[in-house]
Structure 1
Amino acid sequence: MMAQPLVRLVDDDADLLAATAQALRLAGFRVETFEAAEAALQGLTPDYPGVVLSDVRMPGMDGLELQRCLQALDPDLPVILLTGHGDVPMAVAALKAGAWDFLTKPAGTDALTAALRRAVSARALVLENRLLRASRPEPEPGDPRLLGDSAVMVHLRQTLSRVAEAGLDALISGPVGAGKEAVARAIHAQGARRGRAFVHIICAALDPVAFEGEMLGRPAGASPRQGRLPGALEQAHRGTLYLDGIEHLPPAAQARLLTVLGAGEYRPAGAAAPRALELRLIASTSADLGALTAAGSFRADLFYRLSGIVLQVPPLSARLEDVPGLFRRFVRDACRRADLPVPALDAAIQARLMAQDWPGNLRELQQLAESVALGLAPSPSGPDPAGEGLTAMVSAYEAELLRSALRRSGGQVTRAMKALHLPRKTLYDKLARHRIDPAAFRPQDR
């Protein structure tokens, strides 16, 4: 059976306190009553499972000061203020400073219970998310999609760490399947908002109507007692909002998004007044947003807002030296999920890996790894090196190792020789046999 929703009710008027408490209990709430704000603070912890309903005008500590104290204790604890008509501007200011909602006296029972049920639902969601984060097992260090010693990945990790620490909005650009979501989650995880929500929105699924409901929330049913479903902005407040594939956002939704971001506030479905909006925005794209903007199919003002910080995620073909390590990690993870032993990866598999250009990027590599973990091991798309025999596969693998070493060394043979632990003559012999020119890997003068 679902527990009764819990409300901590604060009012210095004893008669009004008793009447409000009785009405709430009849509506199905569990009510804790206090005649002073100082007393209401006693025993509250960040895991308090209820919400607070407080009068504004009280002797000593008033409702606004109580709200500030509660926000310092837990910024996600909903506080609803009860105020007279003359105090509405003050209550609106409190709302923008972090209060959940306010109601003017005398508040009708239906309006009061509907507001409280919305707040209780939001509180339950916050506590559930905290519990899930606390119970989640620790993964292996680092998202496997961001691993690798190639120069492009080392640079990407360094850049995203700086962006995360600075708390900046960012645009992530790269081909489909290259790991843009992993970059967005890493920025969130390394930043000051790591303890807040990371809200992932797939823009291709939004039309202008769906955008309003997805962002601002929607009623959960016909009855006010059923509350509402919180929108993405409400969930991402003080956290991170990730817009995946922003090039697919319809023009009307682009304009609406700009309006909300520019105002710094939003009005959730069913709320009495706007609420402050404070979040980090991360967007990703597989398209050339600059070209779309020039063609008039993407708003220029939104493009310029997003493109201040751009992180380029390389295709897998630009970091082939990372493929063997990534593949082993994907296989190991798949075997762990399926509770299977990790298979040996022989030279034939290694040759297959290095013979592909991976148009599907990390997603394609991960799918192959999962198939190998399950013992299916289909040949990758493209030329099948297995048809050429083991000698040809080993030769292709050796050639790709030589190219990888030259890429890392910038075409410097001495550095490649040391990395491969080969004598100079042996290295030159192998380069000649595979028709590899070190000069092709040296940076070109611009």
Structure 2
Amino acid sequence: MNDSSPVFLIDDDKDLLKATKQTLELAGFVVSAFSSASDALSALDADFAGVVVSDIRMPQMDGQQLFSHVKDRDADMPVILMTGHGDIPMAVQAIQDGAYDFIAKPFATDRLVQSVRRAAEKRRLVLENRSLRRAAEQAQDDLPLIGQTPAMERLRHTLRQIADTDVDVLVTGETGSGKEVVASLLHRWSRRAKGNFVALNCGALPETIIESELFGHEPGAFTGAQKKRIGRIEHASAGTLFLDEIESMPPSIQVQMLRVLEMREVTPLGTNEVRPVDLRVVAAAKVDLGDPAQRGDFREDLYYRLNVVTLSIPPLRERRADIPLLFSYFAKRAASRFKREMPEMSSSVHRHLQQHDWPGNVRELSHFAERLVLGLETAAMQEPRDTPSSDGTLPLPARIERYEAELIRETLSQNNGDVRRTIEALGIPRKTFYDKLQRHGIVRGEFAGSEGSDRRGA
């Protein structure tokens, strides 16, 4: 797998610098090579989108000092240190201070490439999180019609064009795609914004009460009607009436609704009084009302009366590039609502966002963000700890070898390099111990204290 991420490579050994640069370039990285840390630092800015790979032992400014300067500029910029065996304690300290990884010389080229690749992915996620945070902060809290894909750009442009025209609009889209958001924007961006925005879900009300809800009634109009009630249509006069799931509207009500749309007047139940209404109607449907097979018993003439302008909202799976931005917006809103920290978008969360089909669309994504903020998705999204000793990209034998080498070094360090105590702690034969030292390139003397020699020799 190639990676075009940029890499700053620093080493005062010109031959090694040239060879390492070639290795990384063959892996697809864009490498800038420097023979001194000061030269690299002068060319590095806080927005650098890649990885810094540096030797530790260098004149004037060493790798650890370079790491300290990089950390001051951007604490999240990944720095990988290349070290000789004598510099391992120094490298371990740098890891504890926040360096991304250290690689002991001599190293296998795959070891370096895999580490740089993981660091580049981490850097990409960090910068993406920052970008999403900025975009979410710029988004209006009451305007979740967020998206940078061409389909969403066209939708917003169309909304701006027709918002102030008073034309009736039919909005189509899957469940949870944001049809009420579109209707609300049409209202807010028009001169009707001072009037009421009245929403009614036609599929949520029984047929016995939907007529009263829409048209209102006078006292005594039916059993239990003790007071006058202004219907939703009249209440929306001078504003906008939003009829969601209009395909669920009973046929008897469809006839009356057709007259409202044609005459702009309403007759409440229990009276012959005709009251004029000044309203815009925005209707929403989950099905294609233009298709007779999907339209069912929805009146064809009512469909054509509503179908002056039709807006179609694409499902999330058709605009995946918008998903991270939407997630960031919803997570920020949830964090504020629940008084929790805004979660970082880890690689596992990013992968889930892009691979899931989101049948519930924006509504499902919003609920996922809320659960993540509350910590309810943590187990499913758990990632391995990102340390030099955990490398999920390597085959199992290589990971075992790496763990074994680190365990031997740790045990030697705990026993001040004493071979007898180290062998006893590890529970392996002396010959096996020395074979492993040779295979892993471990120099026992580096861990020896005042009592650390093996008096019986090798």
TM-score relative to the length of structure 1? 0.51
Q: Which residue of structure 1 aligns with residue 318 of structure 2?
A: 318
Give the letter for the 2:361 counterpart. N
Based on CA coordinates, which of the two structures has the bigger radius of gyration?
Answer: 2
Kindly state the Cα deviation for residue 254 of structure 1 after the two structures are TM-superposed. Answer: 0.7
Q: Which residue of structure 2 aligns with residue 349 of structure 1?
A: 349
Question: Structure 1's 190 and 293: CA in aligned 2 closer, same or farther, altered over 3 A?
Answer: farther
Confirm or deny that 1:167 pairs with 2:161.
Answer: no
Confirm or deny that 1:255 pairs with 2:248.
Answer: no
What SS does the corresponding residue of 1:284 show, helix, strand or coil? Answer: strand
Q: Distance in 2 between matches of 1:385 and 1:340?
A: 19
Q: Distance in 2 between matches of 1:229 and 1:162?
A: 36
Give the letter for the 2:373 counterpart. A
Q: Distance in 1 between matches of 2:285 and 2:243?
A: 9
Q: Which residue of structure 1 aligns with residue 329 of structure 2?
A: 329
Give the letter for the 2:300 counterpart. A
Map 1:115-130 → 2, pairs under 5 A? none
Q: Distance in 2 between matches of 1:177 and 1:362?
A: 6
Question: Structure 1's 164 and 376: CA in aligned 2 closer, same or farther, altered over 3 A?
Answer: same
What SS does the corresponding residue of 1:148 show, helix, strand or coil? Answer: coil
Query: Contact 1:214/1:232 (CA < 8 Å) preserved in 2?
Result: yes
Kindly state the Cα deviation for residue 143 of structure 1 after the two structures are TM-superposed. Answer: 4.5
Q: Distance in 2 between matches of 1:156 and 1:320?
A: 16
Q: Distance in 2 between matches of 1:295 and 1:200?
A: 22
Question: Structure 1's 235 and 157: CA in aligned 2 closer, same or farther, altered over 3 A?
Answer: same
Give the letter for the 1:191 counterpart. S
Kindly state the Cα deviation for residue 391 of structure 1 after the two structures are TM-superposed. Answer: 5.0
Query: Contact 1:208/1:252 (CA < 8 Å) preserved in 2?
Result: no
**Which whole-Å deviations, capped at 9, do the CAs of 1:229-254 have from their partners, x for residues lacking one?**
32101210111110101111111111
**Greater CA deviation, 295-304 or 233-242?**
295-304
What SS does the corresponding residue of 1:281 show, helix, strand or coil? Answer: strand
Aligned residues: 251
Unaligned runs of 5+ in 1: 1-138, 393-446
Kindly state the Cα deviation for residue 165 of structure 1 after the two structures are TM-superposed. Answer: 2.2
Q: Distance in 2 between matches of 1:391 and 1:289?
A: 50
**Which whole-Å deviations, capped at 9, do the CAs of 1:67-98 have from their partners, x for residues lacking one?**
xxxxxxxxxxxxxxxxxxxxxxxxxxxxxxxx
Q: Distance in 1 between matches of 2:225 and 2:201?
A: 30
TM-score relative to the length of structure 2? 0.50
Give the letter for the 2:312 counterpart. Q
What RMSD in Å do the two structures reach over aligned CA positions?
3.2
What SS does the corresponding residue of 2:214 show, helix, strand or coil? Answer: helix
Q: Which residue of structure 1 aligns with residue 20 of structure 2?
A: none
Kindly state the Cα deviation for residue 378 of structure 1 after the two structures are TM-superposed. Answer: 6.0
Query: Contact 2:287/2:294 (CA < 8 Å) preserved in 1?
Result: no
Question: Structure 1's 208 and 349: CA in aligned 2 closer, same or farther, altered over 3 A?
Answer: closer
Query: Contact 2:169/2:282 (CA < 8 Å) preserved in 1?
Result: yes
What SS does the corresponding residue of 1:290 show, helix, strand or coil? Answer: coil
Q: Distance in 1 between matches of 2:365 and 2:379?
A: 11
Q: Distance in 2 between matches of 1:345 and 1:294?
A: 40
Q: Which residue of structure 2 aligns with residue 229 of structure 1?
A: 229
Q: Distance in 2 between matches of 1:360 and 1:386?
A: 26
Give the letter for the 1:359 counterpart. P
Kindly state the Cα deviation for residue 348 of structure 1 after the two structures are TM-superposed. Answer: 2.1
Kindly state the Cα deviation for residue 350 of structure 1 after the two structures are TM-superposed. Answer: 1.4
Q: Distance in 2 between matches of 1:333 and 1:303?
A: 37
Map 1:139-158 → 2, pairs under 5 A? 141=140, 143=142, 145-158=144-157
Q: Which residue of structure 2 aligns with residue 240 of structure 1?
A: 240
What SS does the corresponding residue of 2:174 show, helix, strand or coil? Answer: coil
Question: Structure 1's 218 and 386: CA in aligned 2 closer, same or farther, altered over 3 A?
Answer: farther
Confirm or deny that 1:375 pairs with 2:386.
Answer: no
Q: Which residue of structure 2 aligns with residue 399 of structure 1?
A: none
Question: Structure 1's 212 and 223: CA in aligned 2 closer, same or farther, altered over 3 A?
Answer: closer
Moved over 6 A (4+): 220-226, 384-387
Kindly state the Cα deviation for residue 385 of structure 1 after the two structures are TM-superposed. Answer: 10
Q: Which residue of structure 2 aligns with residue 212 of structure 1?
A: 211
Q: Distance in 2 between matches of 1:192 and 1:301?
A: 29
Query: Contact 2:218/2:225 (CA < 8 Å) preserved in 1?
Result: no
Give the letter for the 2:367 counterpart. Q
Kindly state the Cα deviation for residue 347 of structure 1 after the two structures are TM-superposed. Answer: 2.1
Kindly state the Cα deviation for residue 148 of structure 1 after the two structures are TM-superposed. Answer: 1.2
Q: Distance in 2 between matches of 1:220 and 1:379?
A: 57
Give the letter for the 1:367 counterpart. H
**Which whole-Å deviations, capped at 9, do the CAs of 1:396-439 have from their partners, x for residues lacking one?**
xxxxxxxxxxxxxxxxxxxxxxxxxxxxxxxxxxxxxxxxxxxx
Give the letter for the 2:309 counterpart. I
Give the letter for the 1:165 counterpart. D
Q: Distance in 2 between matches of 1:277 and 1:217?
A: 13
Q: Distance in 1 between matches of 2:349 and 2:376?
A: 13
Give the letter for the 1:174 counterpart. G
Q: Distance in 2 between matches of 1:279 and 1:243?
A: 12
Question: Structure 1's 227 and 295: CA in aligned 2 closer, same or farther, altered over 3 A?
Answer: closer
Kindly state the Cα deviation for residue 171 of structure 1 after the two structures are TM-superposed. Answer: 0.3
Give the letter for the 2:198 counterpart. V
What SS does the corresponding residue of 1:325 show, helix, strand or coil? Answer: helix
Q: Which residue of structure 1 aligns with residue 61 of structure 2?
A: none
Kindly state the Cα deviation for residue 266 of structure 1 after the two structures are TM-superposed. Answer: 1.5
Give the letter for the 2:368 counterpart. L
Q: Distance in 1 between matches of 2:368 and 2:296?
A: 39
Q: Distance in 2 between matches of 1:270 and 1:378?
A: 57
Q: Which residue of structure 2 aligns with residue 192 of structure 1?
A: 191
